[in-house]
Amino acid sequence: MNSTEPSQPPVSALEPWPDTVRWQPISGDLIKVELLRLAMGLTVVLAALGLGWALSGHWAFGAGFAVVLLLGAWRAAAIVRAVHAWGYAERENDLLVRHGLLVRRLSIVPYSRMQFVDVSAGPLERAFRLATVQLHTAAAASDARVPGLRPEEASRLRDRLTALGEDRAEGL
């Protein structure tokens, strides 16, 4: 009997994410930010449905209330999983950004193609000390973003990407 190595199943281009790179996770505090956004939206919709139900007593408002609650719970679970799916990896010549659960997306942005890098943070993000790094290229479809970074990491990444982009662009 010959001893052979166990055969490995074929790997798809996106299944799983490339494991040849070291993926950096984003902050779990993004879950809190996204859940707060969801809660604010649900509060408005549920208040309107509750008021309509209280004033009219019609069953459709109660059914709508229940449906919105169920969809809100489903969305909350999806937010937790979606935040854990985000990641980025810095390679020698490009930046990889992954996200998505049902539809997985892997963006590869060459440093030489970057035009500029933005760092932004809205009120909720600032309250949780988070920022988003947005990469802009000549092709709008290739723009990538990395949300849920601590401001220090966002600044470091912005500065590194900008420096690498300038170095790579000079060689063109």
Q: Is the pLDDT of residue 125 over 90?
A: yes
- Separation of alpha carbons 172 and 161, rounded Å: 17
Q: Tell me the per-residue pLDDT of 140-166, one tens digit each, with 9 for 90 and over.
A: 666 689 999 999 999 999 999 888 877
Encode burial over 158-167: b for 16+ CB neighbours within 10 A, e otherwise. Answer: beebeebbee
Rounded (5°) CA angle 123-128-131: 70
What residue spans of the chain are helical by DSSP H? 29-56, 59-85, 123-127, 151-170
Q: Which position has the token pair 């199943």?
A: 9
The pLDDT > 90 percentage for the chain reads 60
Q: Tell me the per-residue pLDDT of 13-51, one tens digit each, with 9 for 90 and over.
A: 545 566 778 899 999 999 999 999 999 999 999 999 999
pLDDT of residue 129: 97
Please state which of the ranges 19-28, 65-74, 120-129, 133-142 shows the lowest mean pLDDT: 133-142
How confident is the model over 110-121, as a mean pLDDT? 89
pLDDT of residue 116: 87
Q: Is the pLDDT of residue 5 over 50?
A: no
